[in-house]
Amino acid sequence: MAEAAPSETQPLLGHRRDTTASLGTRLSRTPYFPVIWLFPVVMLASICQGISAFARFGYYQDTFCPAPRRMLLLGSRFSLMVMLAGPITLRCGWFEEWVVMQGVTVRMDMYSTFALFVVSFATVGWWSSYGDRRGRRPVLFVSLLGGLLIDFIYLVAANIPAIHRDAQDTLSLGLIIQGLLGGVATYNGAVYAYAYDVSPSSLSRTVIFCGFHAVSFIGFRIGAACGWIVGPTLPHSNLSYILSVIIAATNLTYIYFILPESLPPASQEQTSEESTSAVNYVFIPFTIFLVRPAKHMILLAFTVYTYCWTLGLDVSLVTRSLIGNYMPSVPRWVLQTVPGLLRLSTLLCIIPALALAFKARYGDNHKSGVLFAKSIASNSILIATLSIIGIIVFAQYRSSSHNGFLFGIFFFLHPFTVGALPALYSLAASYSLALQRSHKSGALFGSLAIWASLAEFYSHSVFRFILEPAAFFLICAALLLVPNGPSVTVPVEDASEGERGGSA
């Protein structure tokens, strides 16, 4: 009997060549490392986010801010606080610096970001669970479709007079639609779940997660640079929105026709048997961590949440080093460029090298993967704590000629801690596997992503210019990582078939 051709939802496994199969199926049979098929999705999505973030700031300024108030908004935070306290109503939103690099500063609208978070919180559980039942590709497609639609709505609102008069309501409706389609948190959760499905071992999973962080880092800055080159004001910003829509449409086409499915059919069948009411989906960001013994997942969720309260430090340290004049002899481009290069070198070189050394000493199995992820997370958080406390201590005594040098040591030490968050996500995956809950990995990563998004929002909007609370949250995160995780009660063969879909 002739062998039936595998479907497009077949996971990334080897098969005999079939010229009648679809393009996506033929590509999934190649011997290359399967996770590479997801990297173009992450790169293109990050570029779109960078372009949109830069263009939206200019649109808000031109549309909702009169010229005098626009100059104040572009000034200091103190000026913005005076405006908010004054009799004039500020309609242009609350912007905070999100990325500072050489020649380009990307500002995010915090009101829109928080509104999108609220809507996404109610839908991330459903979409993530749908991904556990039907595969990761539909969730990636739908969540990125929401980003394309909001960029298209911005473009239409800026160029159609009838809509331009009600632009605020139109953009609010667009954010609601994007949130109903999952938003950025659902997209991030689907990316981690896809990478988890195709990771060949627990040890390599941390390296793969770091790789995706590096790709997102590069893509977002490429997009922001493109938006800066085109220009944030009308009519130049129209080209930014059009470029973002074209890139997003290309990405969706790639996902639909080329990207192979990562979730094995057996896992889809296992998860599809479980039924959950619509109300319960809303509470999945809470209930997913209540797995007996619940203390392990709860402590890890709090660790991710408290650590993400410090993500705004990347911008804060650059801004403080420039404004505070701690290192007046160091060129500004060094302070804006070198930390980013150190982060990339950590994600792409240092952590993979450490993983190879770890594999040579402890082997490549589930326990070594857990130990490696926890070591990277713990040491990264401890080094971040040391660097922030050092900056707090030595920044108080700027009159000494040696304090600028000491500040520089701690300033350039902090970028090496960028591997903490991907290591925490990898540790969460290992805990879920040990608790025999890997068939709900999509819901787990989606829930972690929504809490991380909320904490990052507050880190940029509340504590970005205050280092003392950041040190407190780093200490809390380090203490939460002290307890040991759950023991592996099932035999886990740490090969590709042992890491996905609850096959353990």
Sites in the chain below the pLDDT cut of 50: 1-24, 26-32, 68-91, 273, 399, 489-504
In eight-state DSSP terms, residue 330 is S
If asked whether residues 290 and 360 sit together in one domain, one would say yes
Q: Is 503 within a domain?
A: no
* Helices marked H in 396-440: 403-413, 420-434
Letter string b/e over residues 456-482, b meaning 16 or more CB atoms within 10 A of that residue's CB = bbbbbbebbeebeebbbbbbbbbebbe
- Contact predicate 139/449, CB 8 Å: no
Q: How many domains does the chain have?
A: 2
Predicted confidence at residue 275, as pLDDT, reads 54
Of 115, 174, 167, 125, the residue nearest 147 (C-alpha): 174
* Helices marked H in 135-235: 136-159, 161-164, 167-180, 183-198, 202-230
Domain CATH number, residue 215: 1.20.1250.20
Torsion region of 345: left, alpha or beta (phi above 0 gives left; psi -120 to 50 gives alpha): alpha
Q: Is 1 within a domain?
A: no
If asked whether residues 104 and 229 sit together in one domain, one would say yes
Predicted confidence at residue 265, as pLDDT, reads 66
Q: Is 412 within a domain?
A: yes
| Bridge partners (DSSP) listed for residue 96 | 108
If asked whether residues 351 and 448 sit together in one domain, one would say yes
Q: Is 493 within a domain?
A: no
Predicted confidence at residue 465, as pLDDT, reads 65
Rounded Cα distance, 109 and 94, in Å = 5
Predicted confidence at residue 93, as pLDDT, reads 62
Q: Is 455 within a domain?
A: yes
Q: Is 494 within a domain?
A: no
Using a pLDDT cut of 90, give the percent of the chain over it.
46
| Burial of 265: CB neighbours in 10 Å, binned 0-12, 13-18, 19+ | middle
If asked whether residues 283 and 255 sit together in one domain, one would say no
Q: Is 92 within a domain?
A: yes
If asked whether residues 209 and 309 sit together in one domain, one would say no
Residue 492, phi then psi, degrees to nearest 5? -120, 110
Domain CATH number, residue 479: 1.20.1250
If asked whether residues 331 and 466 sit together in one domain, one would say yes
- Which pTM does this prediction carry? 0.85
How many C-beta neighbours within 10 Å does residue 122 have? 15
| Bridge partners (DSSP) listed for residue 108 | 96
If asked whether residues 224 and 291 sit together in one domain, one would say no
Residue numbers of the domain that contains 97 = 31-260
Q: Is 82 within a domain?
A: yes
Predicted confidence at residue 502, as pLDDT, reads 37
If asked whether residues 249 and 348 sit together in one domain, one would say no
Q: What is the DSSP string of 17-59?
A: --TTS-HHHHHHTSSS-GGGGTHHHHHHHHHHHHHHHHHHHHH
What are the tens digits of pLDDT across the range 405-457? 778 888 899 999 999 999 999 999 999 988 888 889 999 999 999 999 999 99
If asked whether residues 235 and 290 sit together in one domain, one would say no
Of 125, 121, 179, the residue nearest 147 (C-alpha): 179
If asked whether residues 105 and 254 sit together in one domain, one would say yes
First CA to last CA distance, the chain: 32
If asked whether residues 151 and 70 sit together in one domain, one would say yes
Rounded Cα distance, 84 and 45, in Å = 34
If asked whether residues 249 and 284 sit together in one domain, one would say no
What are the tens digits of pLDDT across the range 293-350? 778 899 999 999 999 999 988 888 887 665 556 677 778 888 889 999 999 999 999 9
